[in-house]
Amino acid sequence: MLQAERPVAEAKDLLARNRAALSGVEIDFIELSAAAARAELERRAEEARQRAEQEAAHARALQTSLEETQSAKTEADSAAKRASTARGEAEKLIQFMTFDLNFKLQKIGKLELLKDVNIRVEEYYKVFGGENEEIDSLRRRAASLHNRGDILRGQGDLAGATKQEKTEGAEPIDGIWLRWV
């Protein structure tokens, strides 16, 4: 009467309706099958709960990672903005030292001080100059090299001034000769 492949729910229904007509073996089989089915459902439910907990933990870890990444990006953006501002202010200072201060120091004959200022400007461009340099920065760099020649000329070193103009200061940048800017 009871077939082993029938679903447990049908067997339990059969047991409820026809308990008196079933043998003890059949009753035990249905009850044990129902218990085994409940145990299997509980096991699967526990596995599903554990997977859900793991996925929730992964989701929290990803959220934390995302928040940390966003925070790091915000900090990096802020640092980049500060660096850009600092670079702009440094370029303003270079502008002042290369042109205004240079003119004033030349006027009063302070070539040694002018030489020190110019060396600092050239060191700045060795560190921060390079490819993708803006045209104003290139102009200040060229002026600094030209100033070196003027300093040498002012010190009476005509050979050094000529050499300066023929070597370091006499190279075109993007095909443009920036000497005497």
CB 102 within 8 A of CB 117: yes
- Per-residue pLDDT tens listing for the chain (181 residues): 444 455 777 778 878 898 888 888 988 888 888 888 888 889 999 999 999 999 999 999 999 999 999 999 999 999 999 999 998 899 899 889 888 988 888 888 888 888 888 888 888 888 877 666 788 888 888 888 888 888 888 888 888 777 776 665 445 545 444 444 3
pLDDT of 75 reads 97
Contacts 24+ apart (CB under 8 A), 134-139: 136/91, 136/95, 137/91, 138/173, 138/174, 138/178, 139/178, 139/181
**What's this model's pTM, rounded to 2 decimal places?**
0.54
pLDDT of 83 reads 92
Handedness of CA 74, 78, 81, 83 (dihedral sign): negative
d(CA 111, CA 102): 9
Q: Render 102-121 in DSSP notation, one character per residue.
A: HHHHHHTT-HHHHHHHHHHH
